[in-house]
Amino acid sequence: MLPLSELKRGSKGRVVSIAAGHGATRRLMEMGLIPGETVEVLSNYFGPVVVRVRGVTFALGRGLASRVLVEVIE
Amino acid sequence: MREILVALAGSPNVGKSTLFNRITGGNVHVANWAGVTLQRYEGSVSYSGRRLRIVDLPGTYSLSARDLGEKVALDFIINERPDVLVIVVDATELKKSLYLAVEAMELYEKVVIALNMIDAADRRGIHINFDGLERGLGVPVVPISALKGIGIGKLMRAILEVAEGRAGRKEPLRVDYDGLERYIAKLSGLDHGNYPARWAALKVLERSLPPKDQEAESICEEARRDLAIDPLSLIIASRHEFVDKIVRENVKRVKVSGPSLEERLDKLILHPLFGPIVSIFLISSAFFIIFTVNTGFPFNILLRALGMEEASEVIESYSLVGLLGSLFEMLAGASADFLSSIGLDPLWVRFISEGVIGSLGALLSFVPILILTYIVLGALEDSGLFPRAATVLDSIFRKFGLSGRAFFPALIGIGCNVPGIIATRGMEDERERIVVGISEPFIPCQARLVVLLAISLAAFPSPLIQASLMLSIYMLGVLIFLLSSKLLRTIMGWREPTELLMELPPYHRPSLRVIWWYSKANVIHFLKKAGLIILFMSSLTWLILNIGPSGYVEDPSHSFAFMLGNALTPILSLAGLGDWRYALALEVGFIAKEGILSTFSQLAGSPDPVSAIRYMGITPLKGISLALIMSFYVPCLATISTMLSELRKLKYVALAVILELSVSFILASISYNLGLALGLS
């Protein structure tokens, strides 16, 4: 298990848990980052991490991404 | 007959604004939602003998009342109880956009779903079973293309049917929350005021609404303990599952496309190195082109630097502001002739021709840049480039407590601070908007560039030093803008902005029609709101400059403005500018910064501003001091009026003025006295 911020560009993971504040957790889940969902990392360098979940592309700040735990699939 | 109230809701990027404009035909009224700086768009339209009032709710991903837009949308639905709530969903992204629809239908029953971008869905091989969707959701589902105007008549008919109770749900949608149901039932039994009981119970379990009493609190505790999982995650997952099931049953994809153009574009735009360069380059070029069309700047400066003085003047006089300027000069002249010929008192002749018509001209000179800025900003937002640029620039701006979206007000401010302040609307965080709005005037605009240029030419002989003075002022301006944003957050005790979480919608071609509608509505809003303040204040300033204790004066040194300038001289002398003429010029510059040069010319009796400034006895040290004060001393009238109409609180405007005055005087005094101590002159 890794924080989402550690995943390399092009890799995929399955969401395990989110340990952010209530508001941020809710927002992430509404965007589709719910436990069990597959997440693909489209871009991850030093700034925000860009991911795709349930067909939606969005950018999330590094700090936020580091609070999303994922299981690496590929 | 009673008016039918229709509210439009939808997630961002589903084409809600396009639909709003399509329905209202651009007959739009702009206002603010009560107490907040968020824009409120409203329009009205007649359809088959009925009058419909359409309100565009803020675009939100959900209705949890945690952020401003959500709260506004939620309060509107609950308090105003619209006759119809139209929820716009994107047919190409049903999974994403149905989430809000489901949540809204759990809250409110009189719903019509507008299935937008149906043409794009067809093209991409997405087949949707509309009847199945209608059955699954229990509300009319109308496929439309807001952009092409397909299905609008059918949508209007569905709206009327629901408004008259002939179609749609009779009660809110019930999603099955499985293990949570017994807690929902318990909580529903409690009192929830205006909120529908089941919906309120869900929100309390989600912890989006606080539990009303001890009993509610203990039910939540119980649910959390028994289920060993946060109810929030269970509720959101169930909603997503509900959406997934409906989509699975009613949507078939026949084509599967390979890596799209979009993915390849994203690889470039989101690249850590090329991304910022490409987006800054693209966006800056767009703005520099419209700046040039507007006033000739910065192309005129470039031509002048290359020694092509004449070409530069041609560009300036044929720019939009140049043409408007000549028009108003003609108008002022003609009205002066006319008013004198009917024997009006010279004071009134000049007040009307110079004071009032001049102010009107100054006000209208903002219209082209505003329209152009709205168009470019609208196109950037609509095309999907805007959020991507904000993403790649985010980490730079974070260091100053800002988000990547602060790039736009900063960039546009170089052309003119007025649209720069308006561009803060693109920010989600209200506090960031206020902080950036207040700091905006530190970005030197092109009006100040013209004055800065004249000061550098007058005070320094070497072109190299002239150029470095101008460049340093710009860099200083941007630096102070960033530092001031950081400082203001600290002063106000506001936490750092919440971390970036932004959808990057698919790229698409912007709809010029919609952008044009919005630009028009917003410019009219600007003229009404800020325009009146600008007209009033600049006419007043004209009077102070032209009236003294003895009535109307030809020579400004007998005016009230002179007396005020004299009073300011002791303070200005700290920065080496202890001469009433500097004070007077700075007072005039309050209306518009270009006025500083015309005042110097008037005082020196020389049409050339550079020799007029030399005539004032400028030295290099005084030149630097004047450049610093002129660049930062106070926002011009139009900027102040815009700040007031956008940020909506006098205290923010006062803060901006005090901050700027102190920064400019402190900087100028330090540089002047440091120079003196080093034996410079």
Kindly report, residue by residue over B48-59, the tens digit of the pLDDT: 999 999 999 999
Minimal C-alpha gap between A73 and chain B (Å): 21
Q: How far is B70 from B60, CA to CA, in rounded Å?
A: 6
Contact A2, A11 (CB under 8 A): no
Interchain proximity A25–B232, CB inside 8 Å: yes
Closest Cα in chain B, distance from residue A4 (Å): 14
Interface of B with A in 598-627 (CB under 8 A): none
Name the pairing type of β-strands B4-10 and B50-56.
parallel
What is the tens place of the pLDDT at every residue in A15-72?
999 999 888 899 999 999 999 999 999 999 888 999 999 988 999 999 999 999 999 9
DSSP calls for B123-164: HTTEEE-HHHHHHHHSS-EEE-BTTTTBTHHHHHHHHHHHHT
- Which residues are within 8 A (CB) of B529 and not within 5 positions of it... i.e. 6 or more apart? B645
| Range in B150-154, B185-189, B352-356 the model is least confident about | B352-356
Determine the residue among A44, A53, A57 to mutate to test chain B binding: the one whose Cβ has the most chain B Cβ atoms within 10 Å: A57
Topology of domain B178-253, CATH:
Helix Hairpins (1.10.287)
In this structure, which amino acid lies at residue A60? Answer: L
User: Chain B window 192-231: which residues touch A at a Cβ cutoff of 8 Å?
Assistant: 206-208
Are A29 and B236 inside 8 Å of each other by CB? yes
Q: Distance of alpha carbon B287 from its chain centroid, rounded?
A: 15
Q: Looking at beta carbons, which residues of chain B come within 8 Å of A32?
A: 95-96, 240
Burial A13-23 (b: 16+ CB within 10 A, else e): bebeebebeee
pLDDT at B350: 87
Q: Please say if the pLDDT value at position B90 is more than 90.
A: yes
Categorize the per-residue pLDDT at B259 as very low, low, confident or very high, splitting at 50, 70 and 90.
Answer: low
The CA distance from B20 to the nearest CA of chain A, in Å, is 24
Report d(CA B349, CA B355) in Å as an integer. 9
| CATH of segment(s) B4-163 | 3.40.50.300
Burial of B509 (0-12, 13-18, 19+ CB in 10 A): exposed
What's the pLDDT tens digit per position in B531-574? 888 888 888 888 888 888 888 887 777 888 889 889 989 999 99
Q: How many helices (H) and strands (E) does chain A have?
A: 2, 6
Note the pLDDT of residue B544: 85
ipTM given for this complex: 0.95
B233 neighbourhood in chain A, CB within 8 Å: 18, 25, 29, 34-35
Return d(Cα B424, Cα B405) in angstroms, integer: 8
Best of B500, B503, B507, B508 to disrupt the A interface (most A CBs within 10 Å) is B500
- B502 and A64 within 8 Å at the Cβ level: the answer is no
CB B181, CB B122: distance < 8 Å: no
Tell me which chain B residues have a C-beta less than 8 angstroms from the C-beta of A46: 272, 395
**Could A61 and B394 be called an inter-chain contact, meaning their C-beta atoms sit closer than 8 Å?**
yes
Cα–Cα dist B463/B470, whole Å: 11
With CA atoms as reference, report the closest residue to B89 among B30, B131, B142: B142
* Listed residue (B293, B369, B321, B295) closest to B526, CA to CA: B369
Chain A CB contacts of B392 below 8 Å = 47
**Closest CB from A28, A34, A43 relative to B240:** A34
The residue in chain B having the minimum alpha-carbon distance to the alpha carbon of residue A26 is B232
Q: B62 and chain A: CB distance < 8 Å anywhere?
A: yes
What's the pLDDT score for residue B257? 58
pLDDT of amino acid B573: 93
CA–CA dist B212, B188 (Å, integer): 12
Rounded distance between C-alpha atoms, residue B382 and residue B104, angstroms = 25
Dihedral sign, CA of B97, B98, B102, B108?
positive
Quick one: which of B345, B351, B331, B344 has its CA closest to B539? B351
Model confidence over B366-385: pLDDT tens digits? Answer: 899 889 988 988 888 888 88
Contact across the interface for A59 and B62, Cβ inside 8 Å: no
Report strand pairing: A38-43 vs B126-128: unpaired
CA gap B613, B604 in Å, rounded: 8
Contact B139, B126 (CB under 8 A): no
Distance from CA of A63 to the nearest CA of B (A): 7
Rounded Cα distance, B274 and B271, in Å: 5
Q: CA-based diameter of chain B, in Å? A: 91
Q: How many whole angstroms separate alpha carbon B599 and alpha carbon B588?
A: 7
Taking the C-alpha atoms of residue B196 and residue B243, their distance in angstroms, rounded to an integer, is: 22
| Contact across the interface for A58 and B501, Cβ inside 8 Å | yes
DSSP helix/strand/coil, B173: coil
Q: Does B236 touch chain A (CB under 8 A)?
A: yes
Which of A30, A35, A59 is closest, CB to CB, to B500?
Answer: A59
Pairing of strands A68-72, A38-43: unpaired
Q: Determine whether B642 is exposed, middle or buried from the number of CB atoms within 10 Å of its CB (0-12, 13-18, 19+).
A: buried
Q: Report the distance separating Cα B644 and Cα B648, nearest Å.
A: 5
Residue of A54, A57, A60 lying closest to B501 (CB–CB): A60
- Straight-line distance from the first to the last Cα atom of chain B, in angstroms, rounded to the nearest whole number: 78
* pLDDT of B1 higher than 70: no
Q: Is B162 in contact with B112 (CB distance < 8 Å)?
A: yes
Indicate if the alpha-carbon torsion angle B536, B538, B541, B542 is positive or negative. negative
Sheet strands side by side (includes A12-18):
A2-3, A68-72, A12-18, A38-43, A49-53, A56-60, B501-503
Smallest Cβ distance to B232: which of A26, A57, A64? A26
Residues of chain A found within 8 Å of residue B64, distances taken between Cβ atoms: 26
Report pLDDT digits (tens) over B122-159: 988 999 999 999 999 999 999 999 989 999 999 999 99
Comparing alpha-carbon positions, the chain B residue that sits nearest to A49 is: B391
- What residue spans define the domains of chain B? 4-163, 178-253
Residue B263 has pLDDT above 80, yes or no: no
Burial of A11 (0-12, 13-18, 19+ CB in 10 A): middle
Give yes or no for A33 touching B (CB within 8 A): no
Q: Categorize the per-residue pLDDT at B258 as very low, low, confident or very high, splitting at 50, 70 and 90.
A: low
Q: Does B499 touch chain A if contact means CB atoms closer than 8 Å? A: yes
CB contact under 8 A, B240 and A22: no
- Which chain B residues are Cβ-neighbours of A43 within 8 angstroms? 266, 270-271
Give how far the C-alpha of residue B673 lies from the chain's centroid of Cα atoms, to the nearest Å: 40
* Interchain pair B391, A47: CB under 8 A: yes
Q: What is the DSSP letter of B8?
A: E
The radius of gyration computed from the CA coordinates of chain A, to the nearest angstrom, equals: 10
From A22, A27, A47, residue closest to B392, measured CB to CB: A47
pTM over 0.90: no
Distance to chain A for B498, nearest Cα, Å = 9
Q: Is the minimum CB–CB distance between A19 and chain B shorter than 8 Å?
A: no
How many Cβ atoms are within 10 Å of B342's Cβ, its own excluded? 7
Interface check B237 vs A, CB under 8 A: yes
A22 touches chain B (CB under 8 A): yes
Mean pLDDT over B383-389 rounds to 86
pLDDT (tens digit per residue) in B96-114: 999 999 999 999 999 999 9
The 3-state secondary structure of B418-447 reads HHHHHHHHHCCCHHHHHHHHHHHHHCCCHH
Pairing of strands B551-552, B4-10: unpaired
**Rounded to whole angstroms, how far apart are CA atoms B443 and B656?**
13
Cα separation, B376 vs B382, in Å, equals: 10
Q: Is the pLDDT of residue B5 over 90?
A: yes
* Ordered strands of the B111-116 beta sheet: B28-32, B39-47, B50-56, B4-10, B84-90, B111-116, B141-143
- Chain B touched by A31 (CB under 8 Å): yes
Span B480-507, average pLDDT: 89
